[in-house]
Structure 1
Amino acid sequence: MNLLSGMEKFGFSMDGELDILADDKPKKDAAQKTAAAPVVKTEKDFIIDKKVRCPVCDKDFPIKAVLATKLKRLEPDFDLRPNYEHVDKCKYDFMSCPNCGYSALDTTFAKIDTARVKLIRAEFCPSFKPQKETALPETYSYEYSIEKFKLALICTMKKRAKMSEKAYVCLKIAWLRRAQLKELEGNKDADPKIVDMIQKEYEGFYSQAYEGFMKAVSSETPPYCGMASEAVEYMLANMSVHYKKYDAAMKLIARLIQSPSTSRKLKDKCLELKEDIVAKQGAK
């Protein structure tokens, strides 16, 4: 018997037996389905909004930042490019003021002395043309980030930054271009002209980074733009292999293996790289 028959005229069609305890009973099936459903995370889940004050024009501006503590670190590339699950953190490793244009690596943005502020104001700001940006994108695209890193590179040159800082900015751009190339692998719809442009920029900035860091290692006191000397030398050894400069790579590896400050783990990596170089030289 339908105890709520007659309620149809009020718009309620109550089929089946009445059970006022039904809502209090645990819904096992629903709970199990909810628990079993996988949580799919995207880049947006790791991005937050922040405000930063520009040391050049003294104005606040918004940025997108990565919640690094929540990221799962993956195996780095051969040249120590960091990789993370769900997010390419390299895209967010800059700060760029939309008002005056001053841009830099996020680690060096606020570390600018009075003399260099004057250089930026005198040699960079007068030429900078602010762009009309109504709001920041939800996540940074590769093109968006590379554009800002290029501004940062111009700023590092205008403020007479150390060679290691200029080289590091070039390396970041090269890493981003390489990530783009990986994304385009196997994409039949990719424009060959765009792929060619990305490839040339990758090679160009990577070469600048290599030459810049090689000079920095011989002329600056570590750390190099916040990077430990051992990390930079191991990175350069791998970059030397990339350019088939095996003698240069071997010298860097030998120095790392002989140094008492090099960790056991890094020495083991150097020995592996040494074996790889010997194999490549033997294959000639």
Structure 2
Amino acid sequence: MTELDTLFDKKCDCPICGNHFTSKKIRSRFIKLVHTDTDLCPAYSPPENNPLLYHILVCPECGFSFSDDFSPYFPPGTKEEIQEKVCSGWTPHSFSDKRTIADAINTYKLAVYCALLKKEKHIILAGMYLRIAWLFRSLKDMEQEQRFMRLAIHEYEEAYSTQDYQGTQVSEIRVLYLLAELSYRTGSKKDAGKYFSKVIEGQRRTTETKMVEMAKERWQTIRQDINK
């Protein structure tokens, strides 16, 4: 009997150049979550079976990089700008094989640039910045982890103020929780307290009771830290 490979090829179509390509994904049976950090960063065993490594799709022909979270809609003029600023200077290169953490970080950075040109939602940018921070954490690169957490905070703040998370899988409570936790991790304890309080205040109008309980526990810990 043939042993099943951990990775399989997902068929993809590039929305910019129409190229058909494949991108690796991890079979669900091989994904084993062993721990989740307080900022929701998942840890998997073994580490190379981390689905975050394969979240971004990169067209090998034109370089357009995206995820399934991207909107299929392109505002007027954005395709042309992507073709000018990404595709015209792209040297055909494939990320369609097994990826290292460094490979994955490069795919996210490409996707962030494409998302900015495409005018994607703030909540989409925030999620990508946060995943990049997590990947740098796995490399124990605290400086870059902090840098991308701050970028994520900015986009989550924009997402919260514009409510552009509506219609996505990310709820208001989750946005507030992440703003609180990331603020604390980047040294902004006052902002952390403000956002944790908002999560707790909203407990009666959310079904995400686990998120509220996590916020209560974290706020208790943070208040003890501040009092010290």
TM-score after normalising by structure 2: 0.85
| Pairs aligned (count) | 221
User: How far 1:68 sits from its partner (Å)?
Assistant: 2.8
Alpha-carbon spacing, 1:201–1:274, altered in 2? closer, same or farther (3 Å): closer
- 1:7-64 residue CA offsets vs partner (Å, 9 max, x unmatched): xxxxxxxxxxxxxxxxxxxxxxxxxxxxxxxxxx9xx943112221111111111210
Match of residue 176 from structure 1 = 135
Structure 2 letter corresponding to 1:129: T
Q: 1:277 aligns with which of 193, 217, 222?
A: 222
**Can you list the C-alpha shifts for 1:124-177, whole angstroms capped at 9, x where unaligned?**
32232323x5x843x210111111111111111211222222222222211111
Amino acid at match of 2:180: A
Moved more, 170-179 or 68-77: 68-77
Q: Give the conservation status (yes or no) of the 8 Å contact 1:46–1:70.
A: yes
Structure 2 CA distance for partners of 1:245 and 1:267, relative to 1, 3 Å: same
Structure-2 change in CA distance of 1:279 and 1:224 (3 Å)? farther
C-alpha distance in 2, partners of 1:282/1:199?
26
Q: Structure 2: which 5+ residue stretches go unaligned?
A: none
> Is the 8 Å Cα contact of residues 112 and 128 (structure 2) preserved in structure 1?
yes
Please show how residues 237-252 of structure 1 align to structure 2 within 5 Å.
Answer: 237-252=180-195
Residue pair 2:122, 2:164 contacting (<8 A) in 1 also: no
Which aligned runs of 4 or more in structure 1 are off by greater than 4 angstroms?
A: none
Gaps of 5+ in 1: 1-40, 182-197
CA drift of 1:69 comes to 5.3
Separation in 2, partners of 1:73, 1:201: 24
Kindly indicate whether residue 61 of structure 2 is the aligned counterpart of residue 99 of structure 1: yes
2: distance between equivalents of 1:146 and 1:266?
A: 28
Alpha-carbon distance between aligned partners in 2 of 1:70 and 1:107, rounded to the nearest angstrom: 23
Report % sequence identity. 25
Q: Tell me the residue number matched to 2:8.
A: 48
CA change 1:60–1:114 in 2 (3 A) is farther
What are the residue-to-residue correspondences of 1:1-284 with 2, within 5 Å? Answer: 45-68=5-28, 70-86=30-46, 87-108=49-70, 111-113=72-74, 115=76, 116-131=78-93, 133=94, 136-137=96-97, 139-181=98-140, 198-223=141-166, 226-259=169-202, 260-262=204-206, 263-283=208-228
* Greater C-alpha Rg: 1
**Alpha-carbon distance between aligned partners in 1 of 2:29 and 2:221, rounded to the nearest angstrom:** 34
Alpha-carbon distance, 1:105 to partner:
2.6
Partner of 1:27: none
Would the aligned equivalents of 2:176 and 2:199 in 1 still touch at CA under 8 Å?
yes
Residue 203 of structure 1 deviates from its aligned partner by: 2.3
1:94 touches 1:104 (CA, 8 Å); kept in 2?
A: yes
Question: How many angstroms apart in 1 are the aligned matches of 2:5 and 2:224?
Answer: 44
Q: Report the TM-score when normalising by structure 1.
A: 0.70
**C-alpha distance in 1, partners of 2:190/2:28?**
37
Give the whole-Å Cα distance in 2 for the aligned partners of 1:112 and 1:46. Answer: 33
Distance 1:105 1:129 in 2: 21
